[in-house]
């Protein structure tokens, strides 16, 4: 039986790969969009174009344009002006459904109680508001899988990863909700992506793979400009692949705190992975474990799995 999943995202080059990957292997019951890589209008159009490209009929609901506090962050995005530069994707074949993403998430989880995985591949604004509006969502969902945070370095700041940094209050609400959470952080996802040879394979593939190859070529160029590496990371797919190939990611149950007030550290995920004995934990006042945090990944295995999936689109 295919895992039922709803994907909340902000396409975004790696979000696009995650959507196409999930649609092939999982029961993608819906997609919601959130501010993040670009404006809500652009990420929604981008998501609909990707669904159209892949012939994916899952309904899409548009979500929040701004974080819980303040306005959407305006950052020069590695994803380009539109949020998904680099390839001329098909125009969307449909509009978003009438429901707001927050209501769509609540209704979908209610309809699939105990079975639905919520993937949060952008800022957690929609997910946090949905839990606030309907607390029973936590028990209705099977679990929440998040691409976000880091047990090490950040990307948007020295210690904060972009998705969490965009809406730290929303992330804090999610990690405090007692939902079952799996978190794949930047320390893990930064090692997973397409190199120039992989991109050439995509470009030589069918129509869908070719478009993804063009997108990854753009993304690699931006990463080369900013990080000096010739590599297009597929961050978001790392939070989806474990529902297809379970053994590719190893998780540890630990406490994750979100820094909200630090002038230098706001948006940091403080993951307590200290190897303590029970006595040590008692002495050090270790917080209650609230998430399964990825600590190891078979990067080659994930890339091969995603590559084969993209090439399998006719
Ligand atoms: O930090 C990586 C995350 O931010 C990914 O979700 C990617 O889409 C970017 O938005
Ligand atoms: Ca994303």
Classify residue 262: in a domain, yes or no: no
pLDDT (tens digit per residue) in 89-126: 999 999 999 999 999 999 999 999 999 999 999 999 99
Place of tokens 């159209």: 52
146 CB within 6 A, ligand 1: no
Q: What pLDDT score was predicted for residue 230?
A: 92
Number of structural domains found in the chain: 1
Alpha carbon distance 244, 16 (integer Å): 17
pTM over 0.85: yes
State the pLDDT at residue 314. Answer: 85
Domain assignment present for 260: no
Cite the beta strand spans of the chain per DSSP E: 4-9, 27-33, 60-62, 116-120, 143-147, 181-184, 193-194, 232-233, 249-254, 256-258, 269-271, 291-297
Residues 214-271 have pLDDT tens digits of 999 999 999 999 999 999 999 999 999 999 999 999 999 999 999 999 999 999 999 9
Which SS3 state, helix, strand or coil, does residue 186 take? helix
Separation of alpha carbons 310 and 148, rounded Å: 23
Q: Is residue 292 part of a domain?
A: no
Residue nearest to atom 10 of ligand 1 (CA): 37
Residue 224 belongs to some domain of the structure: yes
Residue 74, pLDDT above cutoff 90: no
CATH of the domain at 147: 3.90.245.10
Q: What angle do CA 228, 231, 233 make, to 5 degrees?
A: 115
Within a domain: residue 261? no
Is 235 considered catalytic here? yes
Find out whether the beta carbon of 155 lies less than 6 Å from any atom of ligand 1.
Answer: yes
Q: What is the pLDDT of residue 1?
A: 87
| Residue 242 DSSP class | G
Q: What is the mean pLDDT of the chain?
A: 97
Find out whether 56 and 16 touch, Cβ atoms under 8 Å: no
Whether 253 is in a domain gets the answer no
36 ligand 1 Cβ < 6 A: yes
> Measured in angstroms, how far is the CA atom of residue 155 from the centroid of ligand 1?
9
Does residue 75 have a pLDDT over 80? no
Percent of the chain at pLDDT > 90 equals: 94
Containing structural domain, residue 57: 4-247+299-311
259 domain-assigned: no
288 located within any domain: no
Alpha helices in 134-206 (DSSP H): 137-140, 162-166, 168-175, 186-189, 196-203
The residue count for the chain:
314
Average pLDDT, integer, range 191-217:
98
């Amino acid at each position: 039986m295919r895992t039922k999943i709803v994907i909340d995202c902000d396409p975004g080059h790696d979000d696009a790969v995650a959507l196409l990957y999930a649609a092939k292997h999982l029961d993608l019951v819906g997609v919601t969009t959130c501010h993040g890589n670009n404006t809500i209008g652009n990420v929604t159009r981008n998501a609909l174009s990707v669904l159209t490209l892949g012939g994916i009929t899952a309904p899409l609901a548009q979500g929040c344009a701004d974080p819980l506090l303040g306005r959407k962050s305006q950052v020069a995005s590695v994803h380009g002006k539109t949020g998904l530069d680099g390839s001329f994707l098909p125009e969307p074949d449909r509009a978003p459904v009438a429901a707001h993403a927050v209501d769509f998430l609540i209704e979908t989880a209610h309809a699939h109680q105990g079975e639905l995985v919520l993937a949060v591949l952008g800022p957690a604004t929609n997910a946090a508001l949905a839990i606030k509006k309907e607390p029973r969502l936590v028990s209705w969902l099977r679990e929440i899988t998040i691409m976000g945070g880091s047990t090490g370095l950040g990307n948007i700041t020295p210690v904060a990863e972009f998705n969490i940094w965009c809406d730290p209050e929303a992330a804090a609400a999610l990690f405090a909700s007692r939902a079952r959470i799996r978190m794949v952080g930047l320390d893990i996802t930064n090692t997973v992506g397409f190199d120039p040879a992989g991109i050439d394979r995509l470009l030589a593939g069918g129509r869908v793979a070719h478009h993804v190859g063009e997108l990854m070529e753009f993304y690699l160029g931006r990463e080369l400009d900013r990080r000096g590496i010739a590599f297009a990371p597929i961050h978001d797919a790392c939070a989806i692949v474990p529902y297809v190939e379970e053994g590719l990611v190893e998780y540890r149950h630990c406490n994750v705190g979100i820094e909200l007030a630090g002038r230098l550290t706001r948006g940091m995920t403080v993951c307590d992975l200290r190897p303590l004995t029970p006595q040590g934990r008692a002495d050090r006042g270790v917080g209650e474990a609230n998430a399964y945090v990825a600590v190891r990944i078979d990067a080659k295995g994930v890339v091969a799995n995603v590559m084969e999936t993209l090439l399998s689109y006719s």
